[in-house]
Amino acid sequence: MSDSMHIVCPHCQSINRVPANKLAEKPNCGPCKMMAPQFEQAATLLISCAILEESA
Ligand SMILES: [Zn+2]
Protein backbone atom coordinates (compact mmCIF):
# COMPACT_ATOMS: atom_id res chain seq x y z
CA MET A 1 0.00 0.00 0.00
CA SER A 2 1.22 3.50 -0.74
CA ASP A 3 0.33 6.45 1.46
CA SER A 4 1.35 9.17 -0.94
CA MET A 5 -0.26 12.51 -1.60
CA HIS A 6 0.00 15.01 -4.41
CA ILE A 7 1.67 18.17 -3.20
CA VAL A 8 2.30 21.29 -5.24
CA CYS A 9 5.90 22.36 -4.98
CA PRO A 10 6.00 25.87 -3.44
CA HIS A 11 8.96 26.78 -5.61
CA CYS A 12 8.07 25.69 -9.14
CA GLN A 13 4.36 24.81 -8.76
CA SER A 14 4.89 21.34 -10.14
CA ILE A 15 2.87 18.53 -8.64
CA ASN A 16 4.83 15.90 -6.79
CA ARG A 17 3.81 12.63 -5.23
CA VAL A 18 5.01 12.79 -1.66
CA PRO A 19 4.93 9.86 0.74
CA ALA A 20 2.76 10.60 3.76
CA ASN A 21 5.70 10.13 6.10
CA LYS A 22 7.57 12.92 4.30
CA LEU A 23 4.81 15.50 4.63
CA ALA A 24 6.23 16.80 7.90
CA GLU A 25 9.32 17.88 6.01
CA LYS A 26 8.93 20.67 3.52
CA PRO A 27 8.09 18.74 0.38
CA ASN A 28 9.91 19.89 -2.71
CA CYS A 29 10.53 18.25 -6.02
CA GLY A 30 13.99 16.91 -6.79
CA PRO A 31 15.56 19.98 -8.42
CA CYS A 32 14.04 22.35 -5.86
CA LYS A 33 15.15 20.11 -3.02
CA MET A 34 18.69 20.49 -4.29
CA MET A 35 18.24 24.25 -4.55
CA ALA A 36 16.45 24.69 -1.23
CA PRO A 37 19.55 25.20 0.94
CA GLN A 38 20.69 27.92 -1.44
CA PHE A 39 17.28 29.59 -1.34
CA GLU A 40 17.39 29.61 2.44
CA GLN A 41 20.90 30.98 2.40
CA ALA A 42 19.87 33.75 0.01
CA ALA A 43 16.87 34.57 2.18
CA THR A 44 19.06 34.77 5.26
CA LEU A 45 21.44 37.09 3.45
CA LEU A 46 18.57 39.31 2.35
CA ILE A 47 17.20 39.46 5.88
CA SER A 48 20.56 40.37 7.40
CA CYS A 49 21.03 43.05 4.75
CA ALA A 50 17.61 44.48 5.57
CA ILE A 51 18.45 44.54 9.27
CA LEU A 52 21.74 46.29 8.56
CA GLU A 53 20.01 48.92 6.47
CA GLU A 54 17.36 49.48 9.08
CA SER A 55 19.87 50.07 11.85
CA ALA A 56 22.09 52.29 9.72
ZN1 LIG B 1 9.87 22.38 -7.36
- Ligand 1: centre distance to CA 17 (Å): 12
Task: Label residue 35 left, alpha or beta by phi (over 0 means left) and psi (-120 to 50 means alpha).
Answer: alpha
The pLDDT assigned to 56 comes to 65
The pLDDT assigned to 39 comes to 64
The pLDDT assigned to 19 comes to 78
pLDDT digits (tens, 9 = 90+) for 1-56: 568 888 888 778 888 887 777 766 665 677 777 766 676 677 776 667 677 777 66
What is the reported pTM?
0.42
The pLDDT assigned to 30 comes to 73
The pLDDT assigned to 31 comes to 72
Q: Where are the domains of the chain?
A: 4-55
- Ligand 1: centre distance to CA 2 (Å): 22
